[in-house]
């Protein structure tokens, strides 16, 4: 099998707190499992709030060549030529970044920023976004190093904001955003604002359909891929509900996020440790480990 063999295993994975830990954002505990999955012909699709610039770094370091879902499902990024030309992408590409086609499900960032400016003026909600902060401020807010903070700020379809004033102001923000065709995830006071069309689950379904059509186009006997989702938090639920098998890794404080997903498998191990256990278990069950 090759990484594009749709009869293989397609792992859709969150990054922060899942494939990456929160202490240094390292994937090292999962490195061996990543290599085994790729060696066996599986694919790894990042499905994260992280930007294209951020995800490119981790793909390069891990040797991954598969598509990406960026900025909380705002866009699907597909390496050019990854799928056969006869496979209809189903969404008109917005454009290209390097050697990739970009399929936009949300909205462009300039529209998000325009609506946030309007919201500040009309609703008087005290908020600051990455675009209002210096690189040093983003570093202090996120704990990222200078290079990573710069990549986090290189957004194409969203804006991360911090709201002052407590839970009431956060709820007011959510209502005001929806009236303007936007939404955000989480419970505040910090969250990423995206277009209403941005959805991890929708993005996963789109890619799973492309993998399936590619398999069908290669002839009789080809079966659709086994789709797998691995996450750690409530904002991963749409992704986890869109796959055949869903895994949840432990949180740093212990235990698992309180989420409802049919058939969800809770894995012992925090972040990349749990990720590794989920993937090696899958490969062992398929008889793919040496």
CA distance 85 to 80: 10
- pLDDT-derived band at 92 (thresholds 50, 70, 90) equals low
DSSP string for residues in 95-161? EEETTEEEEESS--HHHHHHHHHHHHHHH---EEEGGGS-HHHHHHHH---HHHHHHHH--SS-EEE
Q: Read off the pLDDT of each residue in 24-39 and give the average, rounded to a whole number.
A: 94
Per DSSP bridges, beta strands 9-13 and 43-47 are parallel
Residue 4: the pLDDT is: 35
pTM for the full model? 0.90
Residues spanned by CATH 3.30.980.20 within the chain?
109-195
Mark whether 14 is an active-site residue.
yes
Q: Read off the pLDDT of each residue in 104-120 and give the average, rounded to a whole number.
A: 93
Residue 7: the pLDDT is: 45
Residue 3: the pLDDT is: 35
CA distance 107 to 197: 8
Per DSSP bridges, beta strands 100-104 and 190-195 are unpaired
Q: Read off the pLDDT of each residue in 13-33 and give the average, rounded to a whole number.
A: 95
Mean residue pLDDT of the chain comes to: 89
CB 275 within 8 A of CB 33: yes
Residue 224: the pLDDT is: 76
Q: Read off the pLDDT of each residue in 257-286 and give the average, rounded to a whole number.
A: 95
Lowest mean pLDDT among 99-103, 112-116, 227-231: 99-103
Is residue 269 over pLDDT 70? yes
**Structure confidence by residue, pLDDT tens digits, 208-264:** 999 988 887 765 456 778 999 999 999 999 999 999 999 999 999 999 999 999 999
Query: Which of 5, 14, 23, 66 does the annotation list as catalytic?
Result: 14
Q: Which residue has the higher pLDDT, 89 or 64?
A: 64
The CATH number, out of the four listed (3.30.980.20, 3.90.79.10, 3.10.150.10, 2.40.110.10), of the domain defined by the range 109-195: 3.30.980.20
Residue 134: the pLDDT is: 87
CA distance 34 to 181: 37
Return the CATH fold of 9-106+199-285.
Rossmann fold (3.40.50)
- Residue 216 C-alpha from the chain's centroid: 26
Residues spanned by CATH 3.40.50.1000 within the chain?
9-106+199-285
Cβ-proximal residues to 148 (8 Å cutoff; 6+ apart), any chain? 25, 54, 142
Is residue 2 over pLDDT 50? no
- pLDDT-derived band at 179 (thresholds 50, 70, 90) equals very high
- pLDDT-derived band at 165 (thresholds 50, 70, 90) equals confident
């Amino acid at each position: 099998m090759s990484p594009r063999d749709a009869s293989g295993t397609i792992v859709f994975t969150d990054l922060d707190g899942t494939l990456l830990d929160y202490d240094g954002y390292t994937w090292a505990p999962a490195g061996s499992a990543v290599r085994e999955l790729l060696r066996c012909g599986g694919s790894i699709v990042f499905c994260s709030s992280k930007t294209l610039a951020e995800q490119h770094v981790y793909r390069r370091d891990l040797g991954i060549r598969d598509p990406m879902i960026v900025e909380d499902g705002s866009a699907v990024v597909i390496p050019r030529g990854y799928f056969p030309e006869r496979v209809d992408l189903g969404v008109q590409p917005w454009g290209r970044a390097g050697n990739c086609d970009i399929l936009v499900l949300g909205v462009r960032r300039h529209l998000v920023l325009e609506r946030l400016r309007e919201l500040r003026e009309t609703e008087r909600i005290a908020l600051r976004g990455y675009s209002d902060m210096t690189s040093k401020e983003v570093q202090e807010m996120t704990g990222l190093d200078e290079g990573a903070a710069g990549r986090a700020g290189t957004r194409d379809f969203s804006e991360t904001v911090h709201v002052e004033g407590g839970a009431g102001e956060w709820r007011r923000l959510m209502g005001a955003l929806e009236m303007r065709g936007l939404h955000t995830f989480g419970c505040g006071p910090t969250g990423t604002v995206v277009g209403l069309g941005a959805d991890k689950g929708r993005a996963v379904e789109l890619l799973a359909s492309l993998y399936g059509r590619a398999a069908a186009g290669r002839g009789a006997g080809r079966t659709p891929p086994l789709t797998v989702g691995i996450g750690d938090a409530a904002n991963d639920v749409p992704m986890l509900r869109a796959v055949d098998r869903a895994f949840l890794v432990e949180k740093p404080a212990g235990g698992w996020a309180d989420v409802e997903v049919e058939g969800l498998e809770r894995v012992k191990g925090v972040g990349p440790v749990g990720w590794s256990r989920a993937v090696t278990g899958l490969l062992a069950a398929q008889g793919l480990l040496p």
